[in-house]
Structure 1
C-alpha cells in the first residue's frame, strides 16, 4: 500500500497575484501549474495551515508552517507513491487486433430523429351484445 507523501496545494491565479513575492519561494512549477508541496495540511479554520519540510541556508532541516486564507485555494491533491508528483496527459490504450484484421472506417453520426407519432388503434363498434 502506498503511503501519503504529502499534498500539492494549487491556488487561484488572483491569490498568487495577491500573495506576490511572499509565496514565490514555496512554489514548485509543474505541468498543471504552480503549487506548494507540503507534508501536512489543516483546512479546519479560516486559514489553511500547511506544514512544509525543507532546509535553511545552512543546510539544516527545518519545518515551516505556511498559513493562507482558505478561499485562495483552488485544489488540494494528495500525492501518493514513491515516484515524483506530477501530472501528465492521459493516452488512450489501443485495443490489440489480430494480425491481418482490418480496421473499420469510422461511422458517420446519424442525426437523431423523433419517433413517428403513433395513431391509436381504431375502435370497431359492433351490434353484438355481450352474453
Structure 2
C-alpha cells in the first residue's frame, strides 16, 4: 500500500485502541470520525502493518519521522488519498 505522494488514514478496532493506546498516543489524531492514525506510509507485511509518521502529520509531537508496527488484526479501515487531496480522506 505504498504510494509516492499519498497519505493514509487508519481506523483501529476498539481492541486496538485499548491495547496500544499509550504507545500510539503521539500519533493519534481526533476528528469528526473519532480517533484515527494519519500517516505518510502504510505497508502490510504479514501479521504486522508498518506505519510511518512525519512530525507535521502529528502536530510536531515527534521530532523526526517515526515508523511503528501494529498487528493487522487491529486495523478496521484504511483510506488513502494524494497529498494534494488530504481532506478527501474524510478524516481531517
Return the TM-score normalized by structure 2: 0.74
Q: 1:71 to 1:64 in 2, by over 3 A?
A: same
| SS of the residue 2:77 aligns to | strand
Q: Which residue of 2 aligns with 1:25?
A: 26
| SS of the residue 1:21 aligns to | helix
Structural RMSD (CA): 2.5
Q: Which residue of 1 aligns with 2:9?
A: 8
- Return 68-77 or 44-53, whichever deviates more: 44-53
| SS of the residue 2:65 aligns to | strand
Larger radius of gyration: 1
Q: Which runs of 5+ in 2 are unaligned?
A: none
Question: Of Structure 1 and Structure 2, which has the larger fraction of its residues in strand?
Answer: 2
Q: Distance in 2 between matches of 1:7 and 1:84?
A: 9
User: How many angstroms does 1:16 deviate by?
Assistant: 0.2
Aligned ranges 1:33-52 → 2 under 5 Å? 33-52=34-53
Contact residue 44 and residue 72 of structure 2 kept, 8 A: yes
Return the TM-score normalized by structure 1: 0.54
Kindly indicate whether structure 1 or structure 2 has the higher relative contact order, using CA contacts under 8 Å at least 6 residues apart.
Answer: 2
2:71 to 69, 72, 78: 69
Number of residue pairs aligned between Structure 1 and Structure 2: 84
Structure 1 segments of 4+ aligned residues over 4 angstroms from their partners: none
